[in-house]
Amino acid sequence: EAAVTQSPRNKVTVTGGNVTLSCRQTNSHNYMYWYRQDTGHGLRLIHYSYGAGNLQIGDVPDGYKATRTTQEDFFLLLELASPSQTSLYFCASSDGQISNERLFFGHGTKLSVL
């Protein structure tokens, strides 16, 4: 079973603060994704990557940076956090093969920006 681990599970910061959310997957998946989940909006794609050093922009990228340092590790950076970024953040990974499109999600990081 694919494993995706996110840290921290909960984070509280102040407006203007710096936040880094971490994600590690241990199944050698090519693709990794960052989503945010908000009531009424469902899951919205922030950034994704198809390999170390690669970054692709999703649907709601403003205010977020991301970096894929290795096959396993994908980070989401909020350099000047704002209250509108209070949300539940999910990392996911997938094989990226047509025969296996399934996404595997982590347990999420709850971020509060005061």
Partner 1 sequence: QEKVQQSPESLIVPEGAMSSLNCTFSNSASQSIWWYQQHPGKGPEALISIFSNGNKKEGRLTVYLNRASLHVSLHIRDSQPSDSAVYLCAVKRPSGSWQLIFGSGTQLTVMP
What residue ranges bind partner 1 (CB under 8 A)?
4, 31, 33, 35, 40-45, 48, 50, 56, 58-59, 90, 92, 94, 96, 101-108
* Shortest Cβ 68–partner 1 spacing (Å): 14
CA distance 43 to 77: 18
* Shortest Cβ 5–partner 1 spacing (Å): 11
Nearer to partner 1, 59 or 62 (CB): 59
Q: What are φ and ψ of residue 76, in 5° steps?
A: -115, 130
- Most distant CA atoms of the chain, gap in Å: 44
* Shortest Cβ 108–partner 1 spacing (Å): 6
Ranges of beta strands (E only) in the chain are: 4-7, 10-13, 19-25, 31-38, 42-49, 56-57, 65-68, 73-78, 87-94, 104-105, 109-113
* Shortest Cβ 15–partner 1 spacing (Å): 26
Nearer to partner 1, 17 or 58 (CB): 58
